[in-house]
């Protein structure tokens, strides 16, 4: 079946963003099944995730929209369907015309400099084109100033039961206790919303799944330590959002397949870079959601693979004593602290440095790129510290490259590819 | 007493230097959530940092990039230039760019060749609830012990109450000044009112109180302003440059009210306190005081305050200035514009940078706005 472009319908307002994304990925899956069935696992997960949100109400589940680090595992345990709002801009970003529609609409009310992730999340709501109204909204006070402006406005427009979590600035024992306390309050909120008490056995099932996916995510990340790197940079993109939905059973198949594929590539002596690996790049900010093909291009043309991104990378947190409520709540709190994008960027810069240190020490990196999303101003405000830190400790200079990871109009793929290519050839020169 | 110092909007260093000359410490404070009362009770002078008059923040920009807010970059610039004569810095995570002033300055000042100084940061919740209050209280207890270490003086409840009373007195006096702006013919321009509030940042509260008292005693000698064309209210990002206000006032507007974190909102209401839980009272005050949209749960209250103040001060139009790259103040128009429309208050949206750029354009827009609302009025 040929791939069908539904963007005209969403541009005219005839189709909601939910239907647009679901039909687009369904037709991508059909296409993959016809042309290259071996890649179906990549699309299976997207279809499963999006369709389960779209069909949740039909299946008797409440939809809980969420932004930032919140105790998502509990949403699953209450039998509800989480909708991680960042997935929306990430899914729309490759279709520039569609993304622009909502970005422009949002900019009629907000700063142009606001992060485009938030512009899309708010813009789609201003256009009333989510295609779904959540039963509740849960959000935290980070990742950033942009989200802290978008979410309260969205709360007011949706006007559904809302729970907010304040993420502490420092990630210490006090902060952990603070988040644990708020997690207990969240349980009360969910009990009231669903009219049921938290079923600990159901929660245990959820914890098992979350442990499994966390373990797989860490193993997939660890595979990338191998030189040459077996997995392509694009998979960093898909893995970045996963810890937010780690208790979704659909993740297990995807990650097992990813792990298996990576291992197989190593065993076969192959690598992500088809013509040999030269450059092992760490991207220490966002990923290029507007054009995932750039990663493949760099791998092919320059032998340059994105080994890991510092915002998407995460350390697994595992439930150990599943009968001990306090312990489980602490793990939920810890997971919020270690949530991708939050762990490094949304607190004092020391945490960002720790994350980078781990990647530099363990992933055999030889190229450092601050792939800086222009909306992410607080991370930009740490670029010089990070560049100096990397240079002082590993002798590697950093390329600071400004991009808009969501709004493709800011800089096209050719310009981005050229900048990285020139940097590799003229500065890094391996 | 010569109170002209209240209208000096540069960053004069004499009071701070005089304080330090007595062997006492003075610490720079970023944003509004580090309680000055605590520093005062430890006999430390809090100096709210600003960047008034910073025309070139090139070095600040090297550290914080062109994508950051120029207010934050300019403060960093002043630090790098050694413009402030201080013993260190205390930051709260007001907005995330302001918080990076701390990160960058800490990194720079910890370089081997740099002069060592004290850097400290407190976490401040972004919503108000019993849980967040408990957290903030713990942060404040830590702040107290840090301040005690710095000054070598014990912070007791008695000292805290004394400090609260002093700051309350300054709040009462500023309120009296602001009441004058309600008159049909006020005696202060908006430029002067903002300067008067901003000047508090660079002197001990005791000195500020004396100056305010002297000013209020003399206020009847001031000439009422009768030649303005429209009464204005100013809202938006950090605004510590009365010269910017002056440009608009030169076009016939008169600012009679504001919701600026360097202006009215910084002073807020008086702090009420419970003698049995002074730190709890301070935490309550700072978590619930309306200052800016950094809190996620104060937006309705902030809008209500804006609308009520506009009515109370009989404002003809509202000027909403946004610093480039300031997200904190970037999203109010989703609802505010409509709310203002409902009550018939016109709104002028202006983008700006910390340094005075595009003055010609500002003049044109200010003139057009004043003309428009003057006609409507
Ligand atoms: S990319 Fe940066 S600015 Fe955007 S939501 Fe994430 S942390 Fe915020
Ligand atoms: S002007 Fe805005 S971005 Fe700048 S420090 Fe203030 S709140 Fe933050």
Residue B202 above 70 pLDDT? yes
Q: Report which of B315, B272, B321, B271 is spatially closest to residue B292, judged by C-alpha positions.
A: B321
The sign of the dihedral angle between the CA atoms of A76, A80, A84, A87 is positive
* pLDDT band (50, 70, 90) for residue B179: very high
* CB of A156 less than 8 A from some CB of B: yes
pLDDT of residue A41: 83
Residues B145 and B37 in one domain: yes
How do residues A41-60 score in pLDDT, each as one tens digit? 888 888 999 999 999 999 99
The CATH number of the domain covering residues in A7-198: 3.40.50.11890
**How far apart are alpha carbons A162 and A160 in whole angstroms?**
6
Residue B273 above 50 pLDDT? yes
Residue B13 above 90 pLDDT? no
CB contact under 8 A, A148 and B327: yes
Tell which atom from ligand 2 comes closest to the C-alpha of B96.
8
pLDDT of residue B377: 46
Q: Which of B129, B153, B177 is the last residue of a domain?
A: B153
pTM reported for the whole predicted model: 0.95
Q: Report helix, strand or coil for B349.
A: strand
By the 8 A CB rule, do B89 and B27 touch?
A: yes
A401, containing H or E segment: strand A398-403
Q: Which residues line ligand 1 (CB under 6 A)?
A: A 115, 117-118, 143-144, 146-147, 286, 341, 345, 373, 375-376
Residue A1 above 60 pLDDT? no
CB contact under 8 A, B326 and A348: no
* pLDDT band (50, 70, 90) for residue A35: confident
Percent of chain A predicted with pLDDT > 70: 98
Looking up residue B125, the CATH number of its domain turns out to be 3.40.50.11890
* CB of A149 less than 8 A from some CB of B: yes
How do residues B109-145 score in pLDDT, each as one tens digit? 999 998 889 999 999 999 999 999 999 999 999 999 9
Residue B167 falls within a domain, yes or no?
A: yes
pLDDT of residue A250: 87
**How far apart are alpha carbons A9 and A15 in whole angstroms?**
5
How do residues B210-251 score in pLDDT, each as one tens digit? 999 999 999 999 999 999 999 999 999 999 999 999 999 999
Q: Which of B153, B178, B212 is the last residue of a domain?
A: B153
Chain B residues with beta carbon closer than 8 angstroms to that of A387: none
Residue B6 falls within a domain, yes or no?
A: no
Neighbouring C-beta atoms of residue B111, cutoff 10 Å: 8
Mean per-residue pLDDT of chain B? 95
DSSP-assigned letters across all residues of B210-270: HHHHHHHHHGGGSPPP---SEEEEEEES----HHHHHHHHTTTEEEEEE--TTTHHHH-SP
Domains contained in chain B, number: 2
* pLDDT band (50, 70, 90) for residue B375: low
Residues B110 and B39 in one domain: yes
* CB of A13 less than 8 A from some CB of B: no
DSSP-assigned letters across all residues of A241-286: TGGGGTT-HHHHHHHHHHHHHHHHHHHTT--SSTT---EEEEE-S-
Nearest to A110 among B99, B107, B333 (CB): B333
Residue B224 falls within a domain, yes or no?
A: yes
Residues B63 and B142 in one domain: yes
Shortest distance, CA A384 to any CA of chain B (angstroms)? 5
How do residues A104-163 score in pLDDT, each as one tens digit? 999 999 999 999 999 999 999 999 999 999 999 999 998 899 999 999 999 999 999 999
**Cβ density class B322-347: b for 16+ within 10 Å, e for less:** bbbbbbbbbbbbbbbbebbeeeebbb
Residues B245 and B310 in one domain: yes
Q: Where are chain A's structural domains?
A: 7-198, 202-426
Question: Where in the sequence is the domain holding B289, given as residue range(s)?
Answer: 159-376
Give the DSSP letter of residue A380. H
Residue B3 falls within a domain, yes or no?
A: no
Q: Report which of A328, A324, A346 is spatially closest to residue A337, judged by C-alpha positions.
A: A346
CB contact under 8 A, B64 and A381: yes
Mean of the pLDDT values across residues B34-52? 96
Q: Which of B130, B153, B176 is the last residue of a domain?
A: B153
How do residues B279-324 score in pLDDT, each as one tens digit? 999 999 999 999 999 999 999 999 999 999 999 999 999 999 999 9
Neighbouring C-beta atoms of residue A1, cutoff 10 Å: 10
**How far apart are alpha carbons A276 and A423 in whole angstroms?**
19
H helices present in chain B, as ranges: 14-21, 36-41, 58-64, 70-81, 96-109, 130-151, 157-180, 190-198, 205-218, 242-249, 264-267, 278-288, 299-312, 336-342, 359-376
CA dihedral A196, A66, B93, B72 (to 10 degrees): -170
Chain A residues with beta carbon closer than 8 angstroms to that of B124: 169
Residues B165 and B189 in one domain: yes
pLDDT of residue A2: 63
Residue B16 above 60 pLDDT? yes
Shortest distance, CA A375 to any CA of chain B (angstroms)? 8
Give the nearest chain A residue to B293 (CA atoms).
A149
First to last CA, chain A: 44
Interface of A with B in 311-370 (CB under 8 A): 346, 348-349
Residue B131 falls within a domain, yes or no?
A: yes
Residues B325 and B367 in one domain: yes
By the 8 A CB rule, do B302 and B290 touch?
A: yes
Residue B103 falls within a domain, yes or no?
A: yes
Residue B66 falls within a domain, yes or no?
A: yes
pLDDT of residue A3: 67
Chain A residues with beta carbon closer than 8 angstroms to that of B334: 109-110, 122, 126, 153
* Beta-bridge mates of residue A372: A402
How do residues A252-286 score in pLDDT, each as one tens digit? 999 999 999 999 999 999 999 999 999 999 998 88
Among A93, A117, A310, A355, the mutation site with the greatest number of ligand 1 atoms within 8 A of its Cβ is A117
Neighbouring C-beta atoms of residue A415, cutoff 10 Å: 12
How do residues A296-331 score in pLDDT, each as one tens digit? 999 999 999 999 888 778 788 999 999 999 999 999
Mean of the pLDDT values across residues B143-159? 98
Chain B residues with beta carbon closer than 8 angstroms to that of A150: 331
Q: How many CA atoms lie within 13 A of A283 on its CB side?
A: 28
Mean per-residue pLDDT of chain A? 93
Looking up residue B285, the CATH number of its domain turns out to be 3.40.50.11900
By the 8 A CB rule, do B197 and B267 touch?
A: yes
H helices present in A144-224, as ranges: 145-158, 173-194, 200-223
């Amino acid at each position: 079946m040929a791939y069908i472009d539904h963007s005209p319908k969403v541009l005219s307002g005839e189709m909601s963003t939910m239907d647009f994304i679901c039909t687009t990925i369904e037709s991508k899956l059909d296409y993959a099944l016809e042309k290259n069935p071996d890649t179906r696992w990549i699309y299976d997960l997207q279809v499963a995730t999006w369709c389960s949100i779209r069909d949740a109400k039909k299946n008797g589940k409440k939809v809980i929209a969420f932004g930032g680090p919140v105790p998502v595992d509990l949403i699953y345990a209450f039998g509800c369907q989480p909708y991680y709002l960042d997935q929306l801009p990430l899914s729309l970003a490759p279709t520039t015309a569609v993304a622009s529609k909502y970005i422009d609409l949002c900019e009629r009310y907000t700063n142009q400099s606001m992060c485009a992730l938030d512009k899309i999340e708010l813009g789609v709501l201003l256009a009333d084109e989510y295609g779904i109204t959540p039963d509740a909204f849960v959000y935290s006070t980070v990742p950033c100033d942009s989200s802290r402006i978008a979410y309260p406005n969205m709360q007011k427009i949706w006007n559904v039961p809302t729970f907010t979590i304040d993420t502490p600035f420092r990630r210490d024992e006090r902060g952990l206790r603070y988040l644990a306390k708020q997690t207990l309050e969240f349980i009360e909120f969910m009990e009231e919303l669903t009219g049921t008490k938290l079923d600990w056995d159901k929660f245990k099932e959820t914890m098992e799944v979350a442990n499994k996916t966390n373990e797989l995510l860490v193993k997939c990340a660890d595979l990338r330590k191998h030189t040459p790197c077996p997995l392509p940079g694009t998979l960093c993109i898909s893995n970045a959002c996963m810890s937010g939905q780690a208790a979704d059973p659909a993740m297990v198949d995807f990650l097992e397949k990813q792990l298996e594929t990576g291992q197989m590539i190593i065993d076969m002596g192959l690598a992500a870079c088809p013509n040999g690996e030269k450059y092992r790049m760490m991207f220490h900010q966002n990923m290029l959601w507007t054009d995932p093909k750039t990663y493949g291009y760099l791998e092919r043309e320059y032998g340059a693979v994105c080994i890991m991104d510092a915002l998407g990378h995460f350390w697994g947190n595992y439930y150990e004593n599943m009968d001990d409520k306090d312990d489980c709540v602490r793990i939920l709190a810890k997971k919020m602290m270690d949530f991708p994008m939050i762990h490094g960027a949304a607190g004092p810069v020391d945490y960002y440095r720790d994350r980078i240190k781990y990647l530099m020490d363990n992933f055999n990196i030889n190229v450092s790129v601050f792939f800086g999303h222009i909306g992410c101003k607080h991370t930009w405000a740490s670029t010089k510290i990070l560049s100096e830190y990397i240079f002082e400790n590993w002798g590697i200079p950093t390329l600071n490259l400004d991009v808009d990871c969501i709004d493709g109009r800011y800089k096209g793929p050719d310009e981005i590819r050229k900048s990285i290519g020139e940097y590799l050839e003229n500065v890094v020169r391996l | 007493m010569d109170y002209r110092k209240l209208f000096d909007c540069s960053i004069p260093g004499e009071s701070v230097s005089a304080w330090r000359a007595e062997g006492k410490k003075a610490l720079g404070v970023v944003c509004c959530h580090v309680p000055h009362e605590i520093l005062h009770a430890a006999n430390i002078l809090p100096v709210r940092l600003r960047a008034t008059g910073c025309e070139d923040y090139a070095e600040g920009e090297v550290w914080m990039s062109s994508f950051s807010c120029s207010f934050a970059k300019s403060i960093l610039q002043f630090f790098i230039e050694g413009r402030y004569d201080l013993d260190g810095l205390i930051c709260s995570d007001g907005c995330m760019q302001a918080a990076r002033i701390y990160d960058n300055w800490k990194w720079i000042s910890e370089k081997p060749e740099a002069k060592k100084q004290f850097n400290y940061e407190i976490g401040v919740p972004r919503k108000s609830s019993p849980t967040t209050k408990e957290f903030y209280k713990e942060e404040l207890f830590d702040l107290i012990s840090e301040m005690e270490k710095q000054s070598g003086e014990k912070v007791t409840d008695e000292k805290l109450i004394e400090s609260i009373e002093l700051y309350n007195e300054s709040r009462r006096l500023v309120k009296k000044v602001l009441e004058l702006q309600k008159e049909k013919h006020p005696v202060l321009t908006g430029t002067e009112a903002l300067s008067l509030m901003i000047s508090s940042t660079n002197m001990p509260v005791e000195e500020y109180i004396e100056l305010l008292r002297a000013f209020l005693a003399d206020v009847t000698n001031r000439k009422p302003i009768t030649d303005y064309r429209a009464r204005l209210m100013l809202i938006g990002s950090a605004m510590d440059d009365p010269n910017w206000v002056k440009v608009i006032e030169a076009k016939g507007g008169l600012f009679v009210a504001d919701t600026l974190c360097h202006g009215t909102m910084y002073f807020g209401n008086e702090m009420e306190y419970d003698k049995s839980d002074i730190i709890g009272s301070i935490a309550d005050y700072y978590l619930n005081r309306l200052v800016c949209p950094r809190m996620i749960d104060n937006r309705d209250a902030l809008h209500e305050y804006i609308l009520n103040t506009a009515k109370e001060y009989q404002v003809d139009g509202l000027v909403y200035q946004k610093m480039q790259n300031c997200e904190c103040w970037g999203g109010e128009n989703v609802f505010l514009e409509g709310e203002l429309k409902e009550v018939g208050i016109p709104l002028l949206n202006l983008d700006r940078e910390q340094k005075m750029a595009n003055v010609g354009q500002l003049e044109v827009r200010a003139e057009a706005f004043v003309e428009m609302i003057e006609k409507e009025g």
